[in-house]
Structure 1
Amino acid sequence: MNRPLLLASAFALLATAGAAPAQQRVKPVTWTERPATPPVVPDAYGYTRRVVDIPMRDGIKLHTVIAIPKGGRDLGILMTRTPYDAESALGANPSGYAAPTDDGTTGADPITAGGYIRVFQDVRGMHKSQGGYVMNPAPVGTPFNPSKVDDSTDTYDTIDWLVKNVKESNGRVGITGISYDGFLSLMPLINPHPALKVAVPMNPMVDGWRGDDWFHNGAFRQTMMPYILSQQATAAADTPFRTGYSDDYEYYLKGGSAGAIAAATGVDKMGFFQKILEHPAYDSYWQSQAMDKVLADQPLKVPVMLVDGLWDQEDIYGAPAVYRALKPKDTRGDMVFLSAGPWFHGQEAGNGDALGAIKWDSDTAKWWRRNVLAPFLAHYLKSDQPAMDVAPVTIFRTGTNEWQRLQSWPTVAAASATRLYLKPGGALGFTPADGTAQTVDYVSDPAAPVSFRVRPNKPTYAPGSTWRQWLVDDQRAVSGRPDVITFETGPLTQAVTVAGVPEVHLNASTSGTDSDWVVKLIDVYPEGLKADTTMGGYQLAVSMDIFRGRYRESLSQAKALTPNVPLGYQFALPMVNHVFQPGHRIMVQVQSSWFPLYDRNPQTFVPNIFRAQPADYVKATQKVTVAGPDESFIALPVVK
């Protein structure tokens, strides 16, 4: 038999041999080295770890990690609900919520030292929890929540299960969290479980339109679109937002409107973005879920400490807003507390000795955790409820770099504010300008918007991004642009202390039919500094924000501006507690774009800026009134 025939015969025999009857086939072997039952490994952080899926009132189960100090008994429970993966909150990378040491690099040292049972839970529809996911869902009973559950009911049901099933607990429960987790720490206050004894919302998302994540006074934070895509596309929150650009400024400029960019990246398919698109104004959708408004309508039953960062780059509005809403209900003065430090978003949970180029002379975050957070939690969560010495307001005063213990905030009411006038020739002062009305003008061009920081603008969470510190960036980066007008005092001969909320009173006209206005309050360091020469001339933004002109008359209803007619714009800047030292100067900058953080105003009125077309983007001449009866000013909360 020749070779081809031999090979053919061999293949035939093999085929025949492999064709055994179905009943004689051998079951496939799973080749693995993983044990059938994972071993119980002692936790390096001194906890016994339990993982349970807790049923809610509608049958949905929420994935929950329970960490109990070894050998613990009669312990308070401190829980955090999160969309950011409960499994990863306690482990090799504890994310600031549970750390073994007190070295200042993590935020939970007093929590760990306190010996609390820590509970982490995935919210509905995220990671390993069942159910559907809705971003910051509206409370039950509002028109925008068709279900009978929300984050308040889920927290209630979780606490109820915990106090009945965790035998090591003393039945006292607290809740805390940062950012979205801070929002989730506010929701349980709507109808609190009797076992909920304290809440510590840190940098909470409170009002997404007025001044937290999604809008600031109507201007859309378009660089949050990658977050929306990641959070909503999958339960694992792992969908990337790829642009192919290393400079967000270039990418967003070429992309056109925020709506066009959303369509090009798939963000427009996300349910939450569709709501943003449908509700660009401050209508009932936003108002019904603004947590300061929601909680203002509820009885005050649970002590709460609101934690704020004075340079919070993401949620600078929320904590002070809830404090303002709740404090009038605190008739005894022992239910509503406020802490505010010189921090970026969540920095209280890490090292707090500096923010960008600005140094505070001490680790402010570590001091706060030890002296404020630790005794506060212990008082409410430990069975013996040790006495605490925590002031109603604990706030850091920048400029002198010292902590203050106060009875209330702000120390200067709006009615007592001092006017800081914008004057001709770029002057700035506490007395009005002499003479008749005058204006100073500049041209705002959407084709060349003012960057919110030095380019290239790295994507927010890209490697090497310094997003956390942009609010303290040196404003000299833009102060020389012709479309940024600057007003400045001379060197101060005595300190000027401000403690409260600066309020902008801008009188201005535009040749367009819509306009944005950005106003910055800045501390200008003197030149010739000997201690730190790198800070000579530094322009530190103390407080700044943006206002979309179409909402001048009503936040809930957009209206075109009358071209070339001076109009008044009034809006608050974020709160400050700062001392402008002698030798420093006070500066105010005014501009009409803050890009790419905020989407460009086309400066032509269109019903919905998300749908603006390229032809709608036009140059506009902006004129700011700097003398006369309508002179622009900032109502500054000066301590006298």
Structure 2
Amino acid sequence: MKKYMQFIFLLLMVFSFGQNKPDNTFIKENYTKKEVYIPMRDGVKLFTSIYIPKDISASHKLPFLMQRTCYSVAPYGPDAYRNGLGPNQYLMKDGYIFVYQDVRGRYMSEGVFTNMTPQVAHKTKKDVDESTDTYDTIEWLLKNIPNNNKKVGQYGTSYPGFYTAAGILSDHPALVASSPQAPISDFWNDDFLHNGKFMLGYFRTFPVFGIQKTKPEKEGWYMDTFIKPTSEDGLKFYREMGTLKDGYEKYYKNNFFMTEIMNHPNYDDYWQKRSILPHLKNVKHAVMTVGGWFDAEDLSGPLNIYKTIEKTSPKAKNTIVMGPFSHGAWARETGKAFHNDIYFGDSIATYYQKNLETKFFNHYLKGDTKSDAGIPEAVMFDTGSKEWREFAQYPPKNAQKVSFYLTDGTLKNKAENNFTEYYSDPNKPVLSSDNLKDFNGFTPRNYMSEDQRFAEGRPDVVTFTTDALTEDITFGGELMAKLNIASTSTDADFAVKLIDVYPEDFVPKEKKDGVIYGNYHQMVRSEIMPARFRNSREKPEALVPNQKTAVNFKLQDVMHTFKKGHKIQIQISSTWFPLFAVNPQKFMANPNFATEEDYTKAFIKIFGDSSLEVDVLK
């Protein structure tokens, strides 16, 4: 158990530390560390570590690069130095004043922690949120750290990415560059929920986010509440747990965040005020939002933040970067870049760090903030052709809407008057993976590009596949599932997977031992949608049994070339376990509290005028 908890703690630290090296000699020789409590406008004091280059002077003034985090600014103590500074090793050596801060209620800071702190739209002098805490921190730094050049940048990955996005709203004149990376934008569609559907694969994470500390803490006070794996077969835990209600009552009744999720099944005020998107208006400084196409935690956040700023803030220098990465993997160079079984190239993280991230911060924090950094509007990795592509706008100007209709087991260019039917039993759900060890993970990761052959052919999974392609086709932009369905029951989930089926004779440039790459069914994109929210997230509606009904929803964006000789496939099911909690398939006011007695079997039809609408690059 101790080793497992140490692993979890180290995993959390990755998102706070950025790219770490095992030796902190360089930092000790070149930086002076200060630890301070910075007072906020309401009197709460936030613990802050500041690393100041020793060569700073009146003739060599330097900018600030700041990260605010709920994952600890450890190590604590004026003589205890981090193993890495900043988002990458190049910036660490380029001369910045690095600032790390524990947010309210976390580790050594005062105050009370709340998940996705609601943004206060109309503030009085006493109102506080993450944007005011950012503003107050910047003010203190400018006044109390000598020889700064009066410019501040901020960055962060995952939850620190959200704090970066919220910090944009501080509107402090010294804040000239922000890089939210894998940021949460709206809890309804990031991390714990997808279109309001509870992501059961996150079940082990709740101690981190749902236990308040009672005193200053230098280590994780929640560590002894983690659920210890008891078997290499991680599926065993979820099967024995029972329903979501059973798991909540057994493990998390005293966890405030899990309780909030359980008690708010719809997009009510609790969730609405935790969306940062409505507040991202009139952004005036440079923003580079970063994400990974295989980020199982926060894929929608970077896409939605970029698109929102693009619509609302014409004065912002707005850039998006999307690479072939899992959550935060751009901060760690692995040499040969794989996601799960799939190889994407060499030194991809280094390319990003040197040519995009370092260039972005150096330009705006040390150069002319009024000029452009020379980074394209959108830098997107094509996960099919395995190359970086640059665009002057995103979605690309040359994208054309094309619909692939789901009919008779194939994908066609026109609708047909038929249907495909499957049988869905919540007691025997479709598995989300055949890698049983992965179910013991802290958060899901590999499923985003995993081989989907294990699901094809099940009676509760329907499949639609093209013939082998005669030429390359690139999906580059948004995806919309437009399903027309009918069920014999009153509720259902719809999990839609977009899959690249490799040729039988496919041989990859780089491969992993034991993987059969011929006929590999690589998942490219996927999403789930509860039918109850088809018309309104706020006011769910039951299905009328056997009545044809439209269920339309976005899959997250994609940049993927399906190569000549490959096939495009769509898989649809109504269970996806244990990645997502099982839908009882009976309409309930709060399905989070469904019991096994509520589980209802159903026959479900997908009509031939259903489609996947995609942006195809011409």
TM-score w.r.t. the length of structure 1 is: 0.85
Asked if structure 1 preserves the Cα contact closer than 8 Å seen for 2:472 and 2:563, the reply is yes
- Point out the more displaced range, 391-400 or 543-552: 391-400
1:177 aligns with 2:156: yes
Alignment partners' CA distance in 2, 1:494 and 1:186? 41
Name the structure 2 match of 1:391: 376
Alignment partners' CA distance in 1, 2:604 and 2:236? 25
Name the structure 2 match of 1:87: 74
**Alignment-mate amino acid for residue 529 of structure 1:** F
User: C-alpha displacement at 1:225, in angstroms?
Assistant: 3.4
User: C-alpha displacement at 1:43, in angstroms?
Assistant: 4.2
Asked if structure 1 preserves the Cα contact closer than 8 Å seen for 2:151 and 2:365, the reply is yes
Unaligned runs of 5+ in 2: 1-24, 214-219
User: C-alpha displacement at 1:558, in angstroms?
Assistant: 1.3
**Alignment-mate amino acid for residue 75 of structure 1:** L
Which one of the candidate residues 267, 271, 280 is aligned to 1:282? 267
Alignment partners' CA distance in 1, 2:402 and 2:125? 48
Alignment partners' CA distance in 2, 1:330 and 1:141? 17
Name the structure 2 match of 1:489: 466
Alignment partners' CA distance in 2, 1:309 and 1:93? 30
**Alignment-mate amino acid for residue 112 of structure 1:** M
Alignment partners' CA distance in 2, 1:147 and 1:541? 49
Alignment partners' CA distance in 2, 1:89 and 1:543? 41
1:624 aligns with 2:591: no
Alignment partners' CA distance in 2, 1:54 and 1:134? 19
Asked if structure 2 preserves the Cα contact closer than 8 Å seen for 1:314 and 1:345, the reply is yes
Change (3 A) 1:190 1:89: farther
Which one of the candidate residues 379, 395, 400 is aligned to 1:410? 395
Which one of the candidate residues 77, 82, 97 is aligned to 1:117? 97
User: C-alpha displacement at 1:530, in angstroms?
Assistant: 4.0
1:214 aligns with 2:192: yes
Name the structure 2 match of 1:27: none
User: C-alpha displacement at 1:44, in angstroms?
Assistant: 4.1
User: C-alpha displacement at 1:290, in angstroms?
Assistant: 1.0
Alignment partners' CA distance in 1, 2:490 and 2:82? 50
Q: Any residues of structure 2 matched to 1:361-372 within 5 Å, and which?
A: 361-372=345-356
Name the structure 2 match of 1:199: 178
What value does the CA root-mean-square deviation take over the aligned residues?
Answer: 2.6
Unaligned runs of 5+ in 1: 1-40, 100-106
Name the structure 1 match of 2:238: 252
Alignment partners' CA distance in 2, 1:387 and 1:605? 53
Change (3 A) 1:582 1:458: closer
The size of the alignment, in residue pairs, is 575
Which one of the candidate residues 403, 409, 421 is aligned to 1:441? 421
User: C-alpha displacement at 1:263, in angstroms?
Assistant: 1.6
1:72 aligns with 2:56: yes
**Alignment-mate amino acid for residue 81 of structure 1:** R
User: Helix, strand or coil for the counterpart of 2:63?
Assistant: strand
Which one of the candidate residues 309, 317, 326 is aligned to 2:309? 326
Alignment partners' CA distance in 2, 1:280 and 1:217? 11
After superposition, what is the alpha-carbon deviation per residue over 1:144-185, rounded to whole angstroms, capped at 9, x for unaligned? x99721111111111111111111321111110000000000
Alignment partners' CA distance in 1, 2:479 and 2:37? 47
Which one of the candidate residues 221, 224, 227 is aligned to 1:242? 227
User: Helix, strand or coil for the counterpart of 1:181?
Assistant: helix
Alignment partners' CA distance in 2, 1:282 and 1:461? 28
Q: Any residues of structure 2 matched to 1:5-154 within 5 Å, and which?
A: 43-44=27-28, 46-73=30-57, 74-88=61-75, 98=85, 108-140=88-120, 148-154=127-133
Name the structure 1 match of 2:451: 474
User: Helix, strand or coil for the counterpart of 2:307?
Assistant: helix
Q: Any residues of structure 2 matched to 1:332-351 within 5 Å, and which?
A: 335-351=317-333
Which one of the candidate residues 550, 574, 579 is aligned to 1:568? 550
**Alignment-mate amino acid for residue 397 of structure 1:** D
Alignment partners' CA distance in 2, 1:387 and 1:447? 56
Q: Any residues of structure 2 matched to 1:451-600 within 5 Å, and which?
A: 451-459=431-439, 461=441, 467-531=444-508, 534-600=516-582
User: C-alpha displacement at 1:541, in angstroms?
Assistant: 1.1
1:270 aligns with 2:247: no
After superposition, what is the alpha-carbon deviation per residue over 1:188-244, rounded to whole angstroms, capped at 9, x for unaligned? 2223222111110000011111x2012111211123233222233253342432255
Asked if structure 1 preserves the Cα contact closer than 8 Å seen for 2:119 and 2:130, the reply is yes
TM-score w.r.t. the length of structure 2 is: 0.88
Alignment partners' CA distance in 1, 2:122 and 2:534? 27
Change (3 A) 1:245 1:439: farther
User: C-alpha displacement at 1:92, in angstroms?
Assistant: 9.2
User: C-alpha displacement at 1:130, in angstroms?
Assistant: 1.0
Name the structure 1 match of 2:616: 638
Change (3 A) 1:569 1:412: farther
Name the structure 2 match of 1:261: 247
After superposition, what is the alpha-carbon deviation per residue over 1:268-300, rounded to whole angstroms, capped at 9, x for unaligned? 3222223222321122322222112221xx322
Name the structure 2 match of 1:307: 290
Alignment partners' CA distance in 2, 1:459 and 1:525? 26
Alignment partners' CA distance in 1, 2:187 and 2:299? 11
User: C-alpha displacement at 1:441, in angstroms?
Assistant: 1.2
User: C-alpha displacement at 1:412, in angstroms?
Assistant: 5.8
After superposition, what is the alpha-carbon deviation per residue over 1:515-568, rounded to whole angstroms, capped at 9, x for unaligned? 000011111110112455842111111111000111112111111111111211
User: Helix, strand or coil for the counterpart of 1:345?
Assistant: coil
User: Helix, strand or coil for the counterpart of 2:568?
Assistant: strand
**Alignment-mate amino acid for residue 355 of structure 1:** H
User: Helix, strand or coil for the counterpart of 1:242?
Assistant: coil
**Alignment-mate amino acid for residue 591 of structure 2:** I
Change (3 A) 1:124 1:569: same
User: C-alpha displacement at 1:384, in angstroms?
Assistant: 6.3
**Alignment-mate amino acid for residue 518 of structure 1:** A
After superposition, what is the alpha-carbon deviation per residue over 1:323-343, rounded to whole angstroms, capped at 9, x for unaligned? 1111023435x5211111111
Change (3 A) 1:349 1:579: same
User: Helix, strand or coil for the counterpart of 2:278?
Assistant: helix
Asked if structure 1 preserves the Cα contact closer than 8 Å seen for 2:479 and 2:557, the reply is yes
Aligned residues with identical type, % of pairs: 34
Alignment partners' CA distance in 2, 1:146 and 1:561? 48
Name the structure 2 match of 1:10: none
**Alignment-mate amino acid for residue 241 of structure 2:** G
**Alignment-mate amino acid for residue 137 of structure 2:** T
Alignment partners' CA distance in 2, 1:348 and 1:382? 23
Asked if structure 2 preserves the Cα contact closer than 8 Å seen for 1:513 and 1:561, the reply is yes
Alignment partners' CA distance in 2, 1:89 and 1:198? 27
Change (3 A) 1:566 1:88: farther
1:223 aligns with 2:180: no
Alignment partners' CA distance in 1, 2:428 and 2:103? 42
User: C-alpha displacement at 1:406, in angstroms?
Assistant: 1.2
Asked if structure 2 preserves the Cα contact closer than 8 Å seen for 1:349 and 1:365, the reply is yes
Alignment partners' CA distance in 2, 1:599 and 1:183? 25
**Alignment-mate amino acid for residue 156 of structure 2:** G
Asked if structure 1 preserves the Cα contact closer than 8 Å seen for 2:42 and 2:126, the reply is no
Asked if structure 2 preserves the Cα contact closer than 8 Å seen for 1:412 and 1:637, the reply is no
- Larger radius of gyration between Structure 1 and Structure 2: 1
After superposition, what is the alpha-carbon deviation per residue over 1:338-371, rounded to whole angstroms, capped at 9, x for unaligned? 1111111111111262212111222222101111
Asked if structure 2 preserves the Cα contact closer than 8 Å seen for 1:510 and 1:564, the reply is yes
**Alignment-mate amino acid for residue 287 of structure 1:** Q
User: C-alpha displacement at 1:113, in angstroms?
Assistant: 2.7
